[in-house]
Amino acid sequence: MNDTPGRLPQNLPFPELPGFLTPQEREKYRQLIQERLTKENAVLIAHYYTDQEVQSLAEETGGFVGDSLEMARFGKEHSADTVVVAGVKFMGETAKILTPDKKVLMPTLEATCSLDISCPEKEFTRFCDSYPDRTVVVYANTSAAVKARSDWVVTSSIAVRVVGHLAEQGEKVIWAPDHHLGRYVQKETGADMISWQGNCVVHDEFKYQELMDMSRDNPDAMVLVHPESPEPVIDLADFVGSTSQIINACKKSDKKRFIVATDKGIFFKMQQAVPDKELIIAPTSSESATCRSCARCPWMQLNDLKRLSQVFDTPGNEVHVSPDIVEKALVPLNRMFQFMKS
């Protein structure tokens, strides 16, 4: 795979995290959110990486917790007038593209993703235009405008199957934006791919040497890795998959202990699914360096209870996607949904 644009600046600024809440404040905000969801005929959907209290509130109020794709599908099928998305901006945008008639709100539109940041639409379009013979496959972690420029949108759960299918048809591929996932997909499929050089600041921090040591010290533990992790870390995995696939692999396995290389937020639903199993977070720092994100996405954490309680009253936090972008982005998204059914 060739060298291409998309590298993030060193020390990309992280957002300021929400302040500490007392138990009384938590309870007050929880009640407020419940009341407003009912009053506004709204449903709360949350990603696995959000705080545990946000995930449990989504479930208790008849909403949903899941991976990025499942969230969008749930929002589409639900009868609510308004969908409140606790996640990052591309998730809100995908929900809006799939349900343009519903109001989509987010606690803050500042909740972005380093992959989305790495792939600005104009630069990406220029890049794609210089390879007109290649099929453009983008990861779901991209803006609506980048999706609109693509031929296919995929999530990590289906990327290998889609690119494998394209390779069988003799198609050459542009992949964006995650270069670790791109390399993994290329290795699995043998496809002719050029990859954008974006990365997830959370998964990028999992460390090969420390994971190898941990694995050696815990020989009975199965290693589960998200494919946004660096190649040597993926190579140590017993199982590689998306968030939902990691949970399912853990449920299905006879093993009792698991080392998990993805955002720690997943442990809430994962531990519920396997109460008698032990989950260990994979190492994110080496002896000589400390981690920045420490296996917690800084933008996912912006979805705090206080912001959620104000979601209906905060101007500027409604997700808007222009009708022409919705129309264009729906094509590659629907292609993925059709492919899933095949």
Binding site for ligand 13P (CB under 6 A): 67-68, 140-141, 155-156, 200, 228, 242-243
Query: Which residue's structure tokens are 């449903």?
Result: 43
Could you tell me where the DSSP H helices lie in the chain?
23-39, 52-60, 68-77, 89-98, 114-117, 121-129, 144-148, 159-168, 179-189, 208-217, 231-235, 243-252, 267-273, 305-309, 323-341
- Give the residue with the Cβ less far from ligand SF4, 29 or 90: 90
Q: Return the one option of ligand 13P, ligand SF4, none that residue 114 interacts with (CB less than 5 to 8 A, by type).
A: ligand SF4
Q: Quick one: which of 33, 58, 84, 88 contacts ligand SF4 (CB under 6 A)?
A: 88
Minimum CB separation of residue 83 from ligand SF4 in Å reads 18
Answer yes or no whether residue 150 interacts with ligand SF4 by CB under 6 A.
no
Chain residues 204-233 in contact with ligand SF4, contact rule CB under 6 A: 228
Minimum CB separation of residue 116 from ligand SF4 in Å reads 7
Q: For residues 184 and 234, is the Cβ–Cβ distance under 8 A?
A: yes
Minimum CB separation of residue 219 from ligand SF4 in Å reads 29
The CA distance from 81 to 263, in Å, is 31
- Give the residue with the Cβ less far from ligand 13P, 242 or 301: 242
Name the β-bridge partners of 25: none
Name the β-bridge partners of 137: 152, 175
**3-class secondary structure, 126:** helix
- Give the residue with the Cβ less far from ligand SF4, 47 or 102: 47
- Give the residue with the Cβ less far from ligand 13P, 82 or 199: 199
CA 30, distance to chain mean position in Å, is 25
- Contact track, ligand SF4, 294-333, x by CB under 6 A: ---x-xx---------------------------------
The CA-atom distances, in angstroms, between 321 and each of 1, 108, 200, 270, 326 are 33, 16, 24, 33, 6
Q: For residues 242 and 226, is the Cβ–Cβ distance under 8 A?
A: yes
Answer yes or no whether residue 181 interacts with ligand SF4 by CB under 6 A.
no
Answer yes or no whether residue 141 interacts with ligand SF4 by CB under 6 A.
yes
Minimum CB separation of residue 35 from ligand 13P in Å reads 29
The CA distance from 316 to 108, in Å, is 8
Q: Quick one: which of 33, 46, 105, 115 contacts ligand SF4 (CB under 6 A)?
A: 115
- Give the residue with the Cβ less far from ligand 13P, 150 or 309: 150
Chain residues 270-299 in contact with ligand SF4, contact rule CB under 6 A: 297, 299
Q: Return the one option of ligand 13P, ligand SF4, none that residue 185 interacts with (CB less than 5 to 8 A, by type).
A: none
Minimum CB separation of residue 252 from ligand 13P in Å reads 17
Answer yes or no whether residue 54 interacts with ligand SF4 by CB under 6 A.
no
- Walk across the sheet containing 135-139 and list its strands: 152-154, 135-139, 173-176, 193-195
The CA distance from 21 to 29, in Å, is 10
Residues near ligand SF4 (CB under 6 A) = 49, 88, 113-115, 141, 200-202, 228, 263, 297, 299-300
